Amino acid sequence: MKQNFTVRHGALDGVEAFLSVARHRNFRKAAAELRVTPSAISQAIRTLEARVGAALFMRTTRSVGLTEAGERFLSRAGPAFEELVAAGEAARELGQRPAGKLRLSVPPSVVPILLEPLLASFCRDYPDIELEIAASGELVDLTSESFDAGIRLGEFIAPDMVAVRLTPPLPMVVVGSPDYFSRRAPPEAIEELRSHACLRMRRSNGSVAPWSFVDGNKTIEAIVSGPLIAHDYPALVGAAIQGVGLAQVPSPVAGPAIADGRLRTVLGAFAVTSPGVFLYYPARHQVLPKLRAFIDHVTHNGNASRA
């Protein structure tokens, strides 16, 4: 059975006034410290005592002292209030300068291509930022997983996110290993993929992505099949290098293997271009200085522009 809960309002009302009076043992000095009238201090204390259910001060015309209840309240409320003030200062500091932990969710394929060349310079330029990179092929919920931002290919980013371009658009290349092509002739037309082992990517929404091509001004989505479905591009590239089949991946992901001959490209005349890689974060979030510093560093040093 569902229970009804209410949030108690005003739990801290009057506490600062109480602490000031307890410190000075004087209502007027407390009022001067807090820049309010003595009557406002008196009202705050009366309200607090009514809420607590006990008198906190003993008052005479000449002096102010703490009751036993006031002493107990002071012993617990004083340190707690100091912690709240310190917490506010710590949070305010993060809002004023680049500092604190910056958590990013990043696909494994992006780390060596985009981030590794910039990590040393970023950490050197911003020593007060603790950078944490969680490399995962899963498209995580940034808010629930306490990430400040994520980095993904543009086609995988939800439309309600703020996206900052990190790379230009990327060609999607079809690659296979020399061993694979020793067993099967390289395809020269899109239709020939039906007779090939095509390695596929499963999207974060659970669907298996078709292969996309362009033929003149026409976009073609080819439904392919093969022995392997993966959740990230490095796994597809690794399988293609082992001769398991053909893979369609962003060109930088396969670039090193193409350069050293472990992979060959086919169907280049029909290559489609993906939107590129973006940093993204929830639109409703204020951009803290630590994230702004990272965005500026990556875009400026990577010669990229804002989307």
- Report, as an integer, the average pLDDT of 231-254: 93
Q: Is 208 inside any structural domain? A: yes
Residue 116: CB partners within 8 Å, gap ≥ 6? none
Same domain, 30 and 41: yes
**Of the residues 64, 81, 96, the one at which a domain ends:** 96
Q: Provide the phi-psi class of 206: left if phi over 0, else alpha when psi is between -120 and 50, else beta.
A: left
CA-CA distances (angstroms) from residue 14 to 17, 20, 43, 84, 88?
5, 10, 9, 15, 18
- Report, as an integer, the average pLDDT of 231-245: 93
Same domain, 36 and 65: yes
Please tell me the total count of domains within the chain: 3
pLDDT at residue number 111 = 82
- Angstrom distance (rounded) from CA 153 to CA 275: 7
Same domain, 203 and 222: yes
84: phi then psi, degrees, rounded to nearest 5: -65, -40
Residues 191-200: tens digit of each pLDDT: 999 999 999 9
Q: Is 10 inside any structural domain? A: no
pLDDT at residue number 172 = 94
Q: Is 209 inside any structural domain? A: yes
Q: Does residue 113 register a pLDDT over 80?
A: no
Q: Is 145 inside any structural domain? A: yes
**Of the residues 65, 96, 127, the one at which a domain ends:** 96
Residues 161-170: tens digit of each pLDDT: 899 998 889 9
240: tokens are 């293609």
pLDDT at residue number 93 = 62
Q: Which domain holds residue 128?
A: 100-168+276-301
223: tokens are 């439904």
Q: Provide the phi-psi class of 146: left if phi over 0, else alpha when psi is between -120 and 50, else beta.
A: left
Same domain, 158 and 104: yes
Q: Is 217 inside any structural domain? A: yes
Same domain, 24 and 92: yes
- Angstrom distance (rounded) from CA 196 to CA 251: 20
Give the residue with greater pLDDT, 168 vs 8: 168
Same domain, 184 and 255: yes
- Relative to beta strand 198-201, strand 229-230 is parallel
Same domain, 176 and 270: yes
Same domain, 137 and 224: no
pLDDT at residue number 206 = 78
Q: Is 148 inside any structural domain? A: yes
Q: Is 2 inside any structural domain? A: no
pTM of the model: 0.61
Same domain, 145 and 284: yes
- Angstrom distance (rounded) from CA 106 to CA 139: 9
CATH of the domain at 185: 3.40.190.290
- Report, as an integer, the average pLDDT of 208-235: 92
Same domain, 140 and 80: no
Q: How many CA atoms lie within 13 A of 53 on its CB side?
A: 0
CATH of the domain at 42: 1.10.10.10
| Among 168, 125, 133, CA closest to 150 | 133
**Of the residues 37, 71, 96, the one at which a domain ends:** 96
Same domain, 254 and 195: yes
Whether the CB-CB separation of 167 and 114 falls below 8 Å is answered with yes
- Report, as an integer, the average pLDDT of 280-301: 85
Same domain, 145 and 69: no
| Among 119, 87, 120, CA closest to 104 | 119
Q: Is 110 inside any structural domain? A: yes
CATH of the domain at 106: 3.40.190.10
Report the run of H or E that residue 259 belongs to, with start and end.
helix 251-259
